[in-house]
Structure formats: structure tokens, C-alpha cells
Amino acid sequence: MEIDGGEAARQVRVRFITKLPHTLRVSSASITLPSDVTRAQLSNVVNTLLNTGEHEVFDFIVDGELVRVPLEKILIAKGISAEKVLDIEYFRAVAPRRQQEPELHEDWVSAVDGSNPSVILTGCYDSFGRLWNSSRLCTHILEGHTDAITSVCIINSKADESNDSFHVTTASKDRTLRLWKCDATDGPYPRRIRAVKVLREHTSAVQSVSAGPFGNMVCSGSWDCSIKLWQSDYPNMEGDSVLIKKRKMDNNAAAREEALSEEGAISTFLGHTQCVSCIVWPEQETIYSASWDHSIRMWDVEIGKDTVNMVGGKAWNCLDVGGESSALIAAGGSDPVLRIWDPRRPGKLDPVYNFASHRSWITACKWHPRSWFHLVSSSHDGKVMLWDLRAQFPLAVIDSHKDKVLCADWWNGDSVISGGADGKLCISSEICIP
């Protein structure tokens, strides 16, 4: 096999290794290639060796780094001798292979949750939440909020699994959170459902909600600068009732009153001085929050105090926790840079990664649920980007929105979902995560 190298290009012996199925594995024997071979040329070499008749785009890792420059530059930067046989791991390129037709909403799609592989939960500025099944059919419309929904969350409760139902939480500019019980029933669709609990104690718009790992509590962040914890596992959904006037239905029937149960918060954390824009609760003992006061904080749930306070120069819009040992913090805010910290490094609160390919504010960032390296981000620049910690530039740029992208998440292991100011829920699928 011959590849034209540059003038007087050195030669290097390489051996391709992979964790892909046997049908996509090449011989382990080493071959000689020009040292200035590029990623695209490496992909062509592997396709030629496979000789399947189909062209697959591959990515490559050399000594823990994704190949994005000619191989020779990596050898020089890492001090690797061209005399030794170089192991190059390959895998399918991380990029969507299918863009599904968008699902239209009546207003901005401000929130998505893809944590359940069977459904997608969206929140919209029209005040409604919506559930979509795996066939992209809207099965439930969650009605009751009186202002825009800002955040949504599927509660992963073990009790729900045996009952063929599950619970979700929504947060709104109307200063409330609401708990909903969604039954997996047959059509006709969509079914309009009302909340079973109203969580009311914030004094300003609620900006973010996250469920605890055991499914029995949720936490919220608000423009009133507070974080509040709420119980979410009410077996019979009983409590003090208040009368809430129901919206007029489409058939113009007279509005009727319906009793809903209200609950107050069980704990309040204070410390932020501006809007708590994002909150996540990945471990029972620790809550993470981001704020427009330029701080990212870790909270001890038991004592209600922040144990880590990382102050930056930006108002933060989003954060997520994942990566190696689920210990890395990714956050984005009022500039185009996606930053990642490792709080395990004592005395060092500078980001360990800075990704600067967006062109406007970052609105969402999410780690892939089973990869230490991959995450997704969205921005007001209208782009959704897929990242790998081992590469400086995005693996893929998804350009399916025509306006600001407001939210993004992973779904079903191989898809990215996103919502935007264009009123679209977009699904980019068939993404191969190694």
C-alpha cells in the first residue's frame, strides 16, 4: 500500500488496533506509512485493509491523543521515536449519521431531558411540558404552569419501573415547580395531564431543577438566589389542598376548579448573590450549582453549606458533572468558551480544559452517560457541538437550528437532542461512542 508523502517524508511503522467487532478489525501486522500521513489518509488505509466495499469514517488515537494533525507533528510533540512500531487505535468517527425531522413547538424550546431511553421530555415557553415517545410521537402534554417552563427533569425512581409509570418535574418562571405522574398508556395521543403536586416557596422565577440520585428528592435553583430541596416521593400524593383554576379547554367548556396539593421546601441553601442558573445532583451527598454571580459551588447536602467555591470572570449558564470517575465539572456561560475543571486537584481551581469553538454564549453542556471523554454543548450561535477531551476542536458541529440553541442532552446512548428559539426539538442520531 502506497501513500504519497511530502517531499523527503520520513517513514513510520504502524500497527492498527481496535475494540470494534471482528468484521471491522484489520490485521495486527505492522505496515509502513509516511510520517506526515493525515487522519483522512489513515481512514482510507483502514478502509482499504478492510476491503468491505463500504467506506467508513474512522478516528484515531495515538498515545492518548486524537489525531487531528499530520502524524509526524504528534510524534515530535510527544517525543515518540519514528523507529519503533507505533500502535494506532481506531474507531468509528463520533458524528451523527442521521438527522431526523424536527418536532415543532408553539414557542421556544427551553429545556430537554433525555435521561430515559424510552421518552424525551421537553419544556417550552408556551408554559407546557411535553413527552415524546421513541417514535417521536407526543404522548403527554403537561399543563398547569402560568408562565414559561425553564427546566425539566425525569425522576428516576425504582418505584416507577414496576408500576409502568414515571414521574417528572418542571420548573417555571411562574415561581413554582410541579410534579407529574405519567402513565405509559395507549392512545389516543396526546393526553393532557395535570400536576399531582405544586412545589411553591421560591420568590422569583425558578431557573433549574435536578433530581437526586435515589429519586426521592429534587433540588431547584432560582432567580431569588436560593437553592431549595423538595421531597418528590409522595406515595399517595396527599397533602393540604388549595384550589387552582383550570384553563379553559378547547371545547370552550366552563372552567372548573381542581384541587391540587402544595408542598413547601424541606431545606434552603443560601450563598449565591445572583440567579442560580443551573443545578445538578449526581451524588446523594453533593449538589453542584452555577450562578450569574460568577461562581460554581459544591454543596454538602447534610449541612447545607458550600464546600468548594470556584469564582470565575463570567456569569455561568450551565454545568454538568461527569468524565473520569464522574469527577470533572464542565460549565459554560457568557462567552464562547466551554471550560472543564478537576476539583480533585488541591489548590488549583484553574480549568484543565478550555474549548473555544463556539461564537456566542454557551447554554448547555452534558457529559455522555457512559464515556469519560465525550460531551455535548449548545450555544446562542445556533450550533450544537460534540467534544472529546483528547482533541482541541469539536468532533462534529450540528447545524440543525435556525436560531439560538437553548438546551441539549444525550438520548438513548447514540443520539443528541436539542431545543431552540426556532421552536424545534431536533434529534441527531446514530452517533457511535466508543
First to last CA, the chain: 27
Cell of 244: 387552582
Structure letter (DSSP) for residue 41: H
Give me the mean pLDDT over the 371-380 stretch.
Answer: 97
Residue 181 has pLDDT above 50, yes or no: yes
Query: What is the C-alpha separation between 52 and 54, in angstroms, rounded?
Result: 5
Q: How confident is the model at residue 242 (pLDDT cuts 50, 70, 90)?
A: very low
pLDDT digits (tens, 9 = 90+) for 194-223: 999 999 999 999 999 999 999 999 999 999
63: phi then psi, degrees, rounded to nearest 5 = 50, 45
Q: Are 68 and 391 in contact (CB under 8 A)?
A: yes
pLDDT at 93 (0 to 100): 96
Contact 332, 362 (CB under 8 A): yes
- In this predicted structure, the answer to whether residue 63 has a pLDDT above a threshold of 50 is yes
| CB 194 within 8 Å of CB 247 | no
179 HSE (CA, 13 A, CB side): 31
pLDDT of residue 83: 84
Cell of residue 411, nine digits: 438520548
What is the per-residue pLDDT for 248? 40
- Distance from C-alpha of 405 to C-alpha of 418, rounded to nearest angstrom: 7
CA pair distance 359, 335, nearest whole angstrom: 8
Q: Give ∠ CA 167-134-113 in degrees, rounded to 5.
A: 45
Instruction: Please state, rounded to an integer, the average pLDDT across all residues of the chain.
Output: 90
pLDDT at 241 over 90: no
C-alpha cell at 379: 450555544
pLDDT band at 258 (very low <50, low <70, confident <90, very high): very low
- What is the per-residue pLDDT across 67-97, written as a single tens digit (0 to 9) for each? 999 999 999 999 998 888 999 999 999 999 9
List of residues 6+ apart from 77 with CB closer than 8 A: none
Average pLDDT over residues 271-280: 98
- At residue 240, the pLDDT reads 34
Read off the pTM. 0.89
Selecting from 3.10.20.90, 1.10.1060.10, 3.55.50.30, 3.40.1190.20, what CATH number does the domain 11-92 have?
3.10.20.90
Task: Report whether pLDDT(314) > 50.
Answer: yes
CA distance 93 to 183: 38
DSSP assigned state of 51? -
Question: In this predicted model, which residue has the larger pLDDT, 283 or 186?
Answer: 283
- Specify the range with the lowest mean pLDDT, choosing from 6-20, 124-138, 319-333: 6-20
Task: Give the CA count within 13 Å in the CB-facing half-sphere of 272.
Answer: 31
Kindly list the domain boundaries of the chain, sorted by start residue.
11-92, 98-429
Q: What percent of the chain shows pLDDT beyond 70?
A: 90
In the prediction, which pLDDT does 250 show? 42
Whether the per-residue pLDDT at 415 is higher than 50: the answer is yes
255 has pLDDT over 60: no
pLDDT of residue 245: 37
Mean pLDDT value across residues 171-187: 91
Query: What CATH topology corresponds to 98-429?
Result: Methylamine Dehydrogenase; Chain H (2.130.10)
